[in-house]
Amino acid sequence: MSYINEQYQLVDSIFQNNSDRIIKDILNSSYPLSNKALFNLQIKIKSLLRAMEAIAEESNYYSICCMSRVVIEHFLVSHYIFLRTFSEKSDDCGEEYYNVYRNSEILKRWNYNLKVEGIKKNIKVNGTLDEFKKKFPQYKDLTQQEVDNIHRIGNQFSDVKTIFNYIINRFPKGGVFDKTNEEFIDFLQQYNTLSSYIHGGPTAEMETTNNLTDKQSKIAQSVDLSKIACKSIQNNVLILLLYEKNQNFEFYKELIAPILNLGENSII
């Protein structure tokens, strides 16, 4: 068993064996929405990981690369939510994720649908805010300024440049997460490299059809990267619950000790 797989199995087993307690404590935590987002993101990545492991057995290089990009994007969002929550000691990021980002996605989706409807019906202008409010009268009081503000806040979770800037330039340095944030750059590089696969680009086609000798190695690396992403999010949920320093402190200190080796390198 590889070191990465061994670490993944360790963290995942601790997390799953205590999931009922973790979920209960998330609901009662100081950051329920941020913790909920992280908990659900690790579930999503695990589902993708299971699919990737099945695809890896078929040596399907193109599909693995596509799914790796999706996993990385999930991880980037999760790491951003974790660092903001840890730094700000508030649930603001989780609230923005579930309340504002959700509204931004809904508005963008319906705006796009209106534009498609305009193309079908040969309507020249069908994606304006006025048209949106005609279609959905419950939003009749919504102003363009409010829409712009919703998208401004929502875009922080979908704009990789914003996430990168926060983690590399804005998050306080000189702490226990410096090394992790430096390694975060590897995920950004992979995110960029795999862009062609998501967008159906010619570079991805050429890389897939060429007889590359390291395809199997890259497939294995992609699976390992997903395991790293999943265990990192699980770690971060435990860290946030540990740092609550309430009546559950000793429970999470004991739970996380085998992972972080608190005796030698304490983060408390």
Q: Convert the pLDDT of each residue in 150-171 to its tens digit.
A: 999 999 999 998 998 898 888 8
The yes-or-no verdict on residue 172 having pLDDT over 80 is: no
Residue 262: which pLDDT band, with cuts at 50, 70 and 90? very low
Residue 263: which pLDDT band, with cuts at 50, 70 and 90? very low
Asked if residue 200 is part of any domain, the answer here is yes
Asked if residue 27 is part of any domain, the answer here is yes
Q: Which of 6-10, 91-95, 124-128 has the lowest mean pLDDT?
A: 124-128
Asked if residue 112 is part of any domain, the answer here is no
Domain ranges, residue 237: 3-90+160-260
Between 103 and 2, the more confident residue is: 103
- pLDDT computed for residue 1 by the predictor: 58
Residue pair 68/221 in contact (Cβ under 8 Å)? The answer is no
Asked if residue 174 is part of any domain, the answer here is yes
Asked if residue 136 is part of any domain, the answer here is no
Q: Is 21 exposed, middle or buried (0-12, 13-18, 19+ CB in 10 A)?
A: middle
Q: What is the mean pLDDT of residues 209-235?
A: 89
- pLDDT computed for residue 124 by the predictor: 73
Asked if residue 230 is part of any domain, the answer here is yes
Q: What is the mean pLDDT of residues 181-197?
A: 84
pLDDT digits (tens, 9 = 90+) for 24-81: 999 999 999 999 999 999 999 999 999 999 999 999 999 999 999 999 999 999 999 9
Number of structural domains (the chain) is: 1
| Average pLDDT in the chain | 89
pTM over 0.75: yes
- pLDDT computed for residue 264 by the predictor: 37
Asked if residue 40 is part of any domain, the answer here is yes
Asked if residue 134 is part of any domain, the answer here is no
